[in-house]
Amino acid sequence: MKRIIPWPAMLAAVVLAAAVIGVAQRTAAVSAASSALQYDASGRLMVPRNYREWVFLSAGIDMRYGDGTAPPTDHIFSNVFVPEAAYRAFQATGTWPDHTVLILENRTGSTKGSINKAGHFQAGRLGLEAHVKDVTRLREGWGFFAFDGEQPSQRIDDKADCYSCHRANAAVDTTFVQFYPTLLPTATRHGTLSRSYLAHERHDAAAHRTGVSGR
């Protein structure tokens, strides 16, 4: 005789399976993201060895954020990278999983070299900084690090302007998603843009309509 499973039981089984798969996917995203995150015995962040093989988010050139900063004399590119697992989790949820490491790599912009006649290409590395999400270890869940060569880095002190600028201006979870073109549409779709970023955008749009500069 054919056994018939009552449909409420079947529905419950499907819901349970979906929940288990969801948890498993989130756990996989966190553990894959964790492999990029290594501290030494005294709790300093190690330089992620293969960050150049991660997903490339964007390159800024000569970006200046403060009002009083002098115009650049030499050109600087800033390249941003994130591990693939964290990138995929962001595409699925609109925000970062725990243990995400974002790397900002600064390089000089060169003009003279080979057949180049105009424009700039990237040359030597000037600096390397990290922004890390680690909710159990870091205060407020995120920390900044600046590497000196290949040496591990201490977490930068809370009073540094890294924290205040990112907290006040960054579009998603203290990261500058407004400058990462493959992430901004995802965050917009998921409704994860920060209130301060949205307020700033509204202010700029209003200023544009009335012809007044918003900045």
Site residues, ligand HEC (CB under 6 A): 58, 60, 63, 65-66, 78, 80, 102, 104, 129-131, 144, 146, 156, 160-162, 165-166, 175-176, 179
Angle at 178 between CA 92 and CA 133, to 5 degrees: 60
Q: Quote the CA–CA distance of 126 and 148 in Å, as a whole number.
A: 10
How many residues belong to the chain? Answer: 215
153 token code pair? 């880095």
Q: Compare residues 129 and 134 and give the one whose CB is closer to ligand HEC.
A: 129
Alpha-carbon Rg for the chain, nearest whole angstrom, is 22
Residue 205 CB, nearest approach to ligand HEC (Å): 20
Task: Answer yes or no: are the C-beta atoms of 121 and 108 closer than 8 Å.
Answer: no
109 token code pair? 């912009």
Q: Compare residues 22 and 185 and give the one whose CB is closer to ligand HEC.
A: 185
Q: Compare residues 29 and 143 and give the one whose CB is closer to ligand HEC.
A: 143
Q: Quote the CA–CA distance of 133 and 45 in Å, as a whole number.
A: 12
Residue 13 CB, nearest approach to ligand HEC (Å): 42
Residue 106 CB, nearest approach to ligand HEC (Å): 9
Nearest alpha-carbon partner for 193 in 177, 181, 179: 177
Task: Answer yes or no: are the C-beta atoms of 107 and 125 closer than 8 Å.
Answer: yes
Residue 134 CB, nearest approach to ligand HEC (Å): 14
Residue 84 CB, nearest approach to ligand HEC (Å): 16
Q: Compare residues 13 and 62 and give the one whose CB is closer to ligand HEC.
A: 62
